[in-house]
Structure 1
Amino acid sequence: MRAVIQRVKNAKVEVEGKTVGKIENGLLVLLGVGKDDNKEDIKYLAEKIINLRIFDDENGKMNLSLLDINGELLIVSQFTLYGDCRKGRRPSYSESAPPDIAKKLYEEFVNACKNYNLKVETGEFGAHMQVSLVNDGPVTLLLDSKKVF
């Protein structure tokens, strides 16, 4: 499971011109599900993201987590995080999970994050979405549950 995490002042996701998810002060998570992912990947990534100390404390040091600031979370599915561009000019998505499995694991990831009693919003799995955000910092991190990077 892979995630691009962005600390944001606000973010929203739209489908066909309608806002389906919107947050203030928190994290935008673009989430890709790999073909070998399972519940352990969900547990690892949810815990890691929720507890990352990437928000400023009173001294301006990144020392607080999403939980510490009672921040909000917007989770958007993005299978292209598994795009392999090493050969040719067209990305290969052979390492991404098939849509039916990816959707199930994506929903389980969302539920795992909701267990932390934070506001959690989502995009619409499989839809063509427009994501808008104001990146704060900017702070952008890459995570992989298999610890590839």
Structure 2
Amino acid sequence: MRALIQRVTQASVSVDGQTIGAIDQGVLILICAMQGDDAAKSAQLAAKISKLRIFADDSGKMNKSLLDIGGSALIVSQFTLAADTSRGNRPGFSAAAPPAEGKKLYEQFQADVAALGIPIATGEFGADMAVSLINDGPVTIWMDV
């Protein structure tokens, strides 16, 4: 699975002008299921993100995790993270999991993050979404498992 993680002070996602998910301090996770991904990779990625030390401690150093600060996660499906731009000017997305499998893994990832005790909000798989965020830092990290 592939994720783009952004540390945020707040983030939200809207569909058709209606906010369907919002968080305050925490992370915005743009997530893409790739060909060959499975539930084990979802659980591994959720655990890794939950322990990623990207939040400031009392000394201002990135030494605390999402779990440590009691932050939330806004999880948004983003198949374009699978883009292959190696040929031509139009990206290819064949490395992404097929839609039915991608949706199943997206929902599995949500469940895996929530099972770790992290409050979640979500986007809508396959929808045309508008994502708003205040990137804190900015801190943006790319992660593959």
**TM-score surpassing 0.5?**
yes
Matches within 5 A, 1:9-48: 9-48=9-48
Deviation, 1:114, is 0.4
Give the alignment's TM-score, normalised by structure 1. 0.96
Deviation, 1:133, is 0.2
Structure 2 residue 103 is matched with structure 1 residue 133: no
What secondary structure, in the 3-state scheme, does the structure 2 residue paired with 1:85 have?
coil
Deviation, 1:39, is 1.5
Deviation, 1:129, is 0.2
Consecutive unaligned residues in structure 2, runs of 5 or more:
none
Q: Which amino acid aligns with 2:53?
A: R
Matches within 5 A, 1:1-149: 1-145=1-145
1:17-41 CA-to-partner distances (Å, cap 9, x unmatched) read: 0001000000000001101101121
**Matched residues, percent identical?**
52
**Cα RMSD (Å):** 0.5
Consecutive unaligned residues in structure 1, runs of 5 or more:
none
Deviation, 1:121, is 0.4
Between Structure 1 and Structure 2, how many residues are aligned? Answer: 145
Give 4+ residue runs of structure 1 displaced > 3 Å after superposition: none
Q: Distance in 2 between matches of 1:106 and 1:134?
A: 23
Q: Distance in 1 between matches of 2:95 and 2:103?
A: 15
Q: Say which is worse superposed, 127-136 or 37-46, in terms of deviation.
A: 37-46
